[in-house]
Amino acid sequence: MSSTCKTPNLPVTSILFVSETQIIGAGYDCCPYLFQQVGNGWEVVQKLDGGAKKSVQGGSNSAMNKFKQMDSRAQASGGDTELSTTHQNTITCVRAFSNYSDQVTKISTTGIDGKLVVWDLLSVGVSGVKVR
C-alpha cells in the first residue's frame, strides 16, 4: 500500500518516522514539518520553525560580508533573499537527536546552507514522540 501527501509546500527531501502515525519531513521549503496520519492518508499538522526575518547589519565591510554569505549559501544573485526560516537553503537530512531513550525530544537537520540545527520538539509544542 502506498500513500501520497499533497501539500502547498515544496518537495520533501528527508523524512524521519517518529511513530507509526507521525513523520517529520523537510526539504526545499527550508523548514521541518510534522505530518500526521489521518485515515488512510497524511497531512501537515505543524510547521516546526517559527522563524523570524533577521536584520542585515551594515558597516564598512558590508559588501564583503554580503558576498561571503552569498557564496556560502550557493546563491547566484545579490538581492534580498534572506528567508524567515532558520535554514537558508534546502534541508537535506533529518535525524533523531539521541538522548538514549525511546522518547525523542530533539531532532537535528542539516542543509545546503551548511547549518546543523538541533530542534527541541517540546519547545515547539510537539510531545509524546517515540522512535519505532
pLDDT tens-digit map of 40-97: 888 999 899 876 544 444 455 666 666 666 666 565 555 556 888 999 999 999 998 8
62: three-class secondary structure by DSSP: helix
Domain annotation covers residue 19? yes
Can you list the positions of beta strands (E) in the chain? 12-17, 22-27, 33-38, 41-47, 91-96, 106-111, 116-120
pLDDT tens-digit map of 3-52: 777 788 889 999 998 888 889 999 999 999 999 998 888 899 989 987 65
The pLDDT of residue 14 is 95
Instruction: Kindly report whether the global pTM for this prediction surpasses the value 0.75.
Output: no
Structurally, the chain folds into a number of domains equal to 1
Mean pLDDT of 94-105: 76
Domain annotation covers residue 82? no
Domain annotation covers residue 96? yes
Domain annotation covers residue 99? yes
Domain annotation covers residue 131? yes
pLDDT tens-digit map of 114-131: 999 999 888 777 765 655
Buried/exposed 80-108: b ≥16 CB within 10 Å, e otherwise:
eeebebbbbbbbbebebeeeeeeebbbbe
Domain annotation covers residue 64? no
- The residue segments making up the domain with residue 27 are 1-51+88-132
Domain annotation covers residue 126? yes
Which grid coordinates belong to 80? Answer: 534580498
